[in-house]
Chains A and B, each alone.
Chain A
Amino acid sequence: MYKEVRKEKNEEVLKPSKNNQSKEKYRRNLQGLLDELEIKDGMTLSFHHHLRNGDYVLNMVMEEIVKRGVKDITIFASSIFPCHSPLVDYIEKGIVTQIIAAFISGPVAEAISQGKMKKVAIMHTHGGRVRLVESGDVSIDIAFIAAPTCDEIGNLTGNDGISACGSMGYAVTDAHFAKTTVVITDNLIDKLDDIEVEGKYIDYIVKVDSIGDCKGIVSGTTQITKNPIGLKIARLTTDVIHHSGYFKNGFSFQTGAGGTSLAVSYYLKQLMIKENIKGSFASGGITGYIVDMLEARLFDKLYDVQCFDLEAIRSIRENENHIPISASKYANINDDCIVNDLDFVILGATEIDLNFNVNVTTSSTGEIMGGSGGHSDTANGAKVAIIVSQLFNSRIPVIKDKVICKTTPGETIDVLVTERGIAVNPRRKDLIERFKKTNLPLKTIEELKAISDSLVGIPNQIHFTDKVVGVVEYRDGSVIDFLYQKQ
């Protein structure tokens, strides 16, 4: 049921209609603006995560809001990182009572797992976040948008400035739909030409000394793994792509920024050159390795919702074929989204079960440490969704009888590639038949699990209380699993 692209969009969705042409958007400081905005109990405040673990804005805003003695605040952030640890204190004090995000890691995730938050966390997908807003399920009272560069009428971009982060795809929804939208920038200029979000959606502008720590915003350069096991998995994954039947001129591709995923890009580039195959587009979070492929004309276009490194930021600034896209265009089920046109996506897993269900939300011991992000969006959209993982890591196996949390349904996962063999979802008989004609080390997922169990054993069952601390939403808004407090 998940693999079909929704052709009929029966759901009525909201459309952005804001047109704020005021020339008086600038405010001298955040304190004054928050006084003017009259922050109330029960408000929903939104933030984007393009500054990742270098973000200063969420903490800076919340520090001021807490001073105003409000409570029952919902944080609707596209992702939460370890740098947002001050939220833990606010959660414990009942100031923040709910977090809704696609990805939560660090101390905030730990606090939620420990049952400290008053309401349950809602963990959606990147595409699901847009759907939540468009459908009216989440109504943003104030969006705080960290902007690396902004002009006097509120046009903004992530491509320039000391805190440049590249594409600002996750901020677009917030700007379009929030009742009030505030831009917080450390680079206010007179007039911006290269616009990612138009000023008509912006109500207020505040300039601060710094919106983030550059070291946390981008990684500088991301490198392919040196781990020989990761490299073997990457080579096998490239072979899977090669023999899948979808590797032909015009194919499309997405991979993440993990060391093994980057190694897949590296080997895929070599294969494309050798076989003289050119792709149509690569998408997603973009790294320098994917930029290399664009510049080598191996792909026609890059659709970029988020830049992962400095090379990606340089490219999106300079190359017209490196195109920033919104989270809606990226993965919203009610939009003509890019992920639905993908041929291949390379994804990771903390756990995968015998039905190919994947957990990327919790650790293998059950604590929240991530979330779907675009995992289940891309798995749903792509023709071949490939999970790459070591069969075990430090004695912890990846294949379980049942995953602790079903982040991505097994119906949408096609292939698991490990260092000791490749398992194809039995639903994909076409791929199995193709791979049988090659030397790919084809095994069933049960066989791979047996190998793993024989080497590292079966871990003890993890026990939880009955208390639900989080709800995991699929991209269409349906509840796919619950997260429980640990015993």
Chain B
Amino acid sequence: MANIRRSMLFIPGNNSGMLISSDVFDADSIIFDLEDSVALDEKDSARILVKEVLKTIHFKSEIIVRVNPFDTPYYALDVEEIKQSNIDLILLPKATVESVIDLSKRLEGTEIGIMVLIETAMGVEQVYNILDASNRCYGLMLGGEDLCVDLNCKRTKLGQELFYARGRVVNAAHALNKFVIDTPFTDIYDESGLEKDTLFAKSLGFDGKASINPRQIVSINQVFNPTIDEINHAKRIIEAKDRALKEGKGVFSLDGKMVDLPIIKRAEKIIEMASKIGLIKGVLL
């Protein structure tokens, strides 16, 4: 399972053209959607199509399927069919403790993990317990649109209405050492707005951001990429650590500042990410 999730791209499960091309946009994770982007009279065909696509095509990205919510008649069918496929995660909408436990049971015998979608007021309040309801649950996504409906407030580009929810879910996820993905930015024509919103999410501690349009992926990835300065600084920390180890020093400093374990871990994470996404090799493309 991937540990780099800068970007997660939703692909409607009933769109064969998009399904076949879904891994060309450089999203770290692809979410085949059986829920909101699929009309009621296409639920069956989307489920069948996604299953067939997963059988036929080997995708290089992490594969996630968003099933229909626990309280709908499609949920059980979705899980039953999709769990036979080679996927990494199921995205559970409107997650509750009860629905995570149910899904976890249904997935027994498979290696499929759970990612929860936190998109209700109760979900935000219960987020720690929801994430902790199963070992199979690896992380969460915040769903801003549905949450605003539940909060009876307007979803804005500035996103102040989500400030509490964002802080809360980020804290819960990091407390449990799980990943946390921000809600999509829905104005696909506003590139600078997307960049601002993504930078803000990164600054709060989100690991990545969801997207409903492939055109947003490059911008999202760029925001979550370590910068050249960050990479170079991380390299120097690792080199200093290696030198200190050789010299038998337990503690060392760089540029006059003490380097402790969290700093080393962060540096290692930056180098690992930069290597995996090809930034170490040469020029950023």
Q: Mark B55-86, 1 if CB is under 8 A from A, else 0.
A: 00100000000000000000000000000000
Q: Are B57 and A228 in contact (CB under 8 A)?
A: no
B151 → chain A closest CB, angstroms: 32
Q: Are B215 and A228 in contact (CB under 8 A)?
A: yes
Q: Mark A416-456, 1 if CB is under 8 A from B, else 0.
A: 00011000000000000000011110000000000000010
Residues of chain A within 8 A (CB-CB) of B17 are: 394
Decide yes or no whether B109 CB sits under 8 A from chain A.
no
Contact of A439 among B213, B215, B282 (CB under 8 A): B282
Q: Are B283 and A243 in contact (CB under 8 A)?
A: yes
Give B19-65 interface residues, CB cut-off 8 Å to A.
Answer: 20-21, 24-26, 57
Q: Are A439 and B20 in contact (CB under 8 A)?
A: no
Stretch at the interface among A102-110, A169-177, A209-217, A231-239: A231-239
Q: Are A235 and B278 in contact (CB under 8 A)?
A: no
Q: Are B24 and A239 in contact (CB under 8 A)?
A: no
Interface residue SS majority, chain B = loop
B104 → chain A closest CB, angstroms: 34
Decide yes or no whether A229 CB sits under 8 A from chain B.
yes
Given A455-B20, A455-B57; A232-B25 close (CB under 8 Å):
yes
Q: Are A419 and B285 in contact (CB under 8 A)?
A: no
Interface residue SS majority, chain A = loop
Decide yes or no whether B214 CB sits under 8 A from chain A.
yes
Residues of chain B within 8 A (CB-CB) of A394 are: 17
Number of interface residues of B (CB under 8 A): 17
Given A455-B20, A455-B57; A228-B285 close (CB under 8 Å):
no
A154 → chain B closest CB, angstroms: 49
Name the residue on A nearest B216 (C-beta). Answer: A228
Give B260-285 interface residues, CB cut-off 8 Å to A.
Answer: 278, 281-285
Name the residue on B nearest A243 (C-beta). Answer: B283
Decide yes or no whether B158 CB sits under 8 A from chain A.
no
Contact of B24 among A226, A420, A438 (CB under 8 A): A420
Decide yes or no whether B218 CB sits under 8 A from chain A.
yes
Q: Are A439 and B281 in contact (CB under 8 A)?
A: yes
Given A228-B214, A235-B218; A439-B24 close (CB under 8 Å):
no
A56 → chain B closest CB, angstroms: 38
Residues of chain B within 8 A (CB-CB) of A235 are: 218
Contact of B21 among A229, A243, A440 (CB under 8 A): A229
In the bound complex, what is the Cα–Cα distance between A278 and B122 (angstroms)? 57
Q: Are A438 and B285 in contact (CB under 8 A)?
A: yes
Name the residue on A nearest B58 (C-beta). Answer: A454
Residues of chain A within 8 A (CB-CB) of B215 are: 226, 228, 231
In the bound complex, what is the Cα–Cα distance between A243 and B281 (angstroms)? 14
Q: Mark B82-97, 1 if CB is under 8 A from A, else 0.
A: 0000000000000000
In the bound complex, what is the Cα–Cα distance between A65 and B28 (angstroms)? 64
Given A235-B218, A439-B278, A455-B57; A229-B24 close (CB under 8 Å):
yes
Q: Are A239 and B213 in contact (CB under 8 A)?
A: no
The contact sample of 26 A-B pairs, CB cut-off 8 A, is A226-B215, A228-B25, A228-B213, A228-B215, A229-B21, A229-B214, A232-B24, A232-B25, A232-B26, A232-B214, A235-B218, A239-B285, A243-B283, A394-B17, A419-B21, A420-B24, A437-B282, A438-B283, A438-B285, A439-B278, A439-B281, A439-B283, A439-B284, A439-B285, A440-B285, A455-B57
Contacts beyond the supplied A438-B281, A439-B282, A440-B285: 16 A-B pairs with Cβ under 8 Å = A226-B215, A228-B213, A229-B21, A229-B214, A231-B215, A232-B24, A235-B218, A394-B17, A420-B24, A437-B282, A438-B282, A439-B278, A439-B281, A439-B284, A439-B285, A455-B57
**A residues neighboring B (CB under 8 Å):** 226, 228-229, 231-232, 235, 239, 243, 394, 419-420, 437-440, 455
Q: Which 8 A-B pairs rank lowest in CB-CB distance, beginning with the nearest?
A: A228-B214, A439-B278, A419-B24, A439-B285, A228-B215, A239-B285, A438-B282, A438-B283
**B residues neighboring A (CB under 8 Å):** 17, 20-21, 24-26, 57, 213-215, 218, 278, 281-285
